[in-house]
């Protein structure tokens, strides 16, 4: 299964594509979509949409995993990121890519084994699990790979829950 992990943002949208097969995960590609700071919000959102569409066409993922928003201090930045996240979700839906969402705690738990792991621990485990020689840069791309790994580790249980729910409605 090809999983595209997305770390949403407005200035930087991290992405990481992995192939997950029978518990073995391999990094295929990672990077970031960058929007210039001087652009008005609407133009940044349009660029994110266009770049996401191109990324989805290029990588052809089976599923996309996106981190849910968590912001504590700067509500203004959080709202702008939420706009970007909305564009990302809408683009995936429009292009027919199945979408899964994970909280930061779920990502940390799946990758590092501890839901309150710090960023460095998650990045180190991402590097180890994908057998990478260096930490991916920028950090947003490393985060996106961790999100993809989270889905790879959770997909079986999600599928089991969907199958169970389908059987209960019959």
Is 67 a catalytic site residue?
yes
pLDDT for 168:
45
CB 17 within 8 A of CB 61: yes
pTM attached to this predicted model: 0.87
The answer to whether the CB of 78 falls within 8 A of the CB of 42 is: no
pLDDT at 116: 86
**Nearest-angstrom CA–CA distance, 36 and 39:** 6
Nearest CA among 15, 10, 74, 4 for reference residue 44: 10
Query: Catalytic: which of 25, 51, 67, 143?
Result: 67
Q: Maximum distance among all alpha carbons in the chain?
A: 54
Q: Verify whether residue 140 is a known catalytic residue.
A: yes
The model's pLDDT over 70-127, given as tens digits with 9 standing for 90+, comes to: 666 656 667 878 899 999 999 999 999 999 999 999 999 999 888 888 888 989 999 9
Q: What would the mean pLDDT of 160-170 be, rounded to a whole number?
A: 48
Question: How big is the chain, counted in residues?
Answer: 170
Q: Count other Cβ atoms within 10 Å, centred on residue 161.
A: 10
Nearest to 44 by CA among 72, 69, 8, 17: 8
pLDDT tens, residue by residue, 122-157? 899 999 999 999 988 899 999 999 999 999 998 766
- Helix orientation angle between 104-112 and 119-129, rounded to the nearest 10 degrees: 50
Please return the burial class of 70, using the count of CB atoms within 10 Å of its CB with bins 0-12, 13-18 and 19+.
Answer: exposed
Per-residue confidence (pLDDT) for residue 159, from 0 to 100: 52
Tokens of 17: 């594509």
Candidates 7, 25, 51, 143; catalytic one: 7
Contact 142, 14 (CB under 8 A): yes
Give me the catalytic one of 25, 51, 140, 143. Answer: 140
Give the pLDDT confidence score for residue 164 in this predicted structure.
45
Helix spans in the chain (H) = 41-59, 75-94, 104-112, 119-129, 139-168
């Amino acid at each position: 299964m090809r999983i595209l992990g997305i770390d949403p943002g407005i200035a930087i949208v991290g992405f990481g594509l992995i192939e997950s097969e029978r518990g073995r995960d391999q990094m295929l590609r990672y990077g970031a979509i960058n929007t210039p700071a001087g652009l008005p919000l609407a133009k940044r959102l349009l660029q994110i949409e266009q770049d996401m569409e191109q990324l989805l066409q290029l990588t052809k993922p089976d599923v996309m995993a996106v981190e849910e928003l968590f912001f504590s201090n700067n509500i203004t930045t959080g709202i702008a990121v939420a706009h970007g996240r909305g564009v990302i979700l809408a683009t995936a839906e429009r292009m027919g890519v199945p979408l899964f969402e994970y909280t930061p705690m779920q990502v940390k738990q799946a990758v590092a084994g501890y839901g309150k792991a710090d960023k460095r621990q998650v990045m180190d485990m991402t590097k180890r699990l994908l057998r990478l020689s260096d930490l991916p840069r920028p950090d947003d791309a490393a985060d996106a790979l961790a999100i993809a790994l989270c889905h790879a580790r959770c997909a079986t249980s999600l599928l089991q829950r969907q199958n169970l729910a389908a059987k209960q409605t019959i």
